[in-house]
Homo-oligomer: A and B are copies of this chain.
Amino acid sequence: MDFKWTPEQEAMKKDFDDFFEEAMKGKPAAWVGGLEDMFSEEGFPFTKMVCSKLADKGWLVGHYPKEYGGSGWSILEQLIRAEAAGYHHAPTGDIFGIGMCGPTLIVVGTEEQKKEHLPPICRGERYWCQGWSEPNAGSDLAALTTRAVRDGDDYIINGQKTWNSGAHIADWAFMLARTDPETKRSRGISYFLVDMKSPGITVVPLISMDGSHLYNETYYDDVRVPARNMVGEENQGWAVTRMTMNFERSGVGGFAGNMADIKELVQFCKETKWNGKTLAENPLIRSRLAQLAIETEAGRALAYRIAWLQETGGMEAIATTAWMASSGKVYGSELSQRVAAIAEQIFGLYGQLIKGSKWAPFSGKYIAAHQMSMGGNIAAGTSEIQRNMIAWTGLGLPRTI
């Protein structure tokens, strides 16, 4: 066992770190670094700018094959990049295109699909959104009712999708529609790539609790999609969906982000004096920040294991480590929530101030992060769904659904 990076990897690490350090100097105020910031009106130009620079260096989507515009990185190099980006809360493009749709296409896409979509993803030119959930199909995704009907060389799609993160900035969507309404649930669903500029698509914002705009509803009204934009076979979209869900879930970026937050909070506590003592002298605060640091490192260690197993086990490992990825997800999102909550608590009365108050610590970043963290426990599989999966696939317990 050996946790050392090679000298090449160490050098890479430093390069990434220097890059993000520099790039993030221009970040908008109160930048938390979640998708809410990346896709906001103010944040999206910044995101595109950083991602474009990353792409120029071949660092945006390093782990794709070189023939499709990637740099042929291993999962470990990807991990190093993810950790550096996470630490700096840097935008790294859309997790949907880069992390979900792209890898899916690499495995099951047609050559034509790969050639059409992967290079623009790697260049940071094409942003994606996911079109899965519906008002009555949330955790129970297989209950979806959006229809796709074959019409010549096209399918015509009708229905409503919801919780579409970044749909308002996305160029394309990978979405699910029912192609066989006769069969039930997960059978009869197909997986489509849809140009968001297609006639008949309407995107309606869903504003989050803290006022940010990440989610949207997407209405499909006779949207015509060429049949060649179907991924996998007709009615076999569910298997593709399962695959998409399992990619890139080491979660290391989140833990690196926590590390940076803790460091920032430590500095704040050393500099801030209320009631005659610095916050750093308060044993309760010392204990809480230490606990956050511990939990962050414990999660990070798990993330490394997931990456390692995927590195050495290939596609097969993605399935066998699914319960670990679920563990990392639920552990990580709940921890991020605690980091923000404890930051607020440290700020005392100042903790309730939000962006726009000159008195708000870090321009209200942590209270915004706290509200966004609620979504983190829900999006991409609720914490409940993750724990179900861990019980079923990690422990072999009977399915309760």
Could you list 5 A-B pairs, sorted by A, with CB under 8 Å?
Answer: A282-B283, A283-B283, A283-B284, A284-B284, A284-B287
Give A284 to B285 CA distance when docked, in angstroms. Answer: 10
CB-nearest residue of chain B to A283: B283
In A271-291, the 8 Å CB interface with B consists of: 282-284, 287
Q: Chain B residues near A284 (CB, 8 Å)?
A: 283-284, 287
In A287-302, the 8 Å CB interface with B consists of: 287
In A250-286, the 8 Å CB interface with B consists of: 282-284
Interface residues, chain A, with chain B CB atoms under 8 Å away? 282-284, 287
Q: Chain B residues near A287 (CB, 8 Å)?
A: 284
A333 → chain B closest CB, angstroms: 24
Give A284 to B282 CA distance when docked, in angstroms. Answer: 10
Q: Chain B residues near A282 (CB, 8 Å)?
A: 283
Q: Chain B residues near A283 (CB, 8 Å)?
A: 282-284
Give A283 to B282 CA distance when docked, in angstroms. Answer: 8
Give A283 to B284 CA distance when docked, in angstroms. Answer: 7
Give A261 to B13 CA distance when docked, in angstroms. Answer: 54
Give A287 to B284 CA distance when docked, in angstroms. Answer: 8
CB-nearest residue of chain B to A287: B284
Give A84 to B287 CA distance when docked, in angstroms. Answer: 37
Give A287 to B283 CA distance when docked, in angstroms. Answer: 10
A237 → chain B closest CB, angstroms: 33
Give A284 to B284 CA distance when docked, in angstroms. Answer: 6
CB-nearest residue of chain B to A285: B283
A116 → chain B closest CB, angstroms: 49
CB-nearest residue of chain B to A400: B400
A400 → chain B closest CB, angstroms: 10
CB-nearest residue of chain B to A282: B283
Give A282 to B286 CA distance when docked, in angstroms. Answer: 13
Give A282 to B284 CA distance when docked, in angstroms. Answer: 10
A279 → chain B closest CB, angstroms: 13
Give A32 to B282 CA distance when docked, in angstroms. Answer: 35
Give A283 to B283 CA distance when docked, in angstroms. Answer: 7
A275 → chain B closest CB, angstroms: 14
Give A198 to B258 CA distance when docked, in angstroms. Answer: 67
A397 → chain B closest CB, angstroms: 16
Give A2 to B283 CA distance when docked, in angstroms. Answer: 40
A369 → chain B closest CB, angstroms: 25
A-B CB proximity, top 5 nearest: A283-B283, A283-B284, A284-B287, A284-B284, A282-B283
Give A315 to B293 CA distance when docked, in angstroms. Answer: 54
A139 → chain B closest CB, angstroms: 18
Give A284 to B283 CA distance when docked, in angstroms. Answer: 7
A285 → chain B closest CB, angstroms: 10
Give A283 to B287 CA distance when docked, in angstroms. Answer: 10
A331 → chain B closest CB, angstroms: 23
A399 → chain B closest CB, angstroms: 15
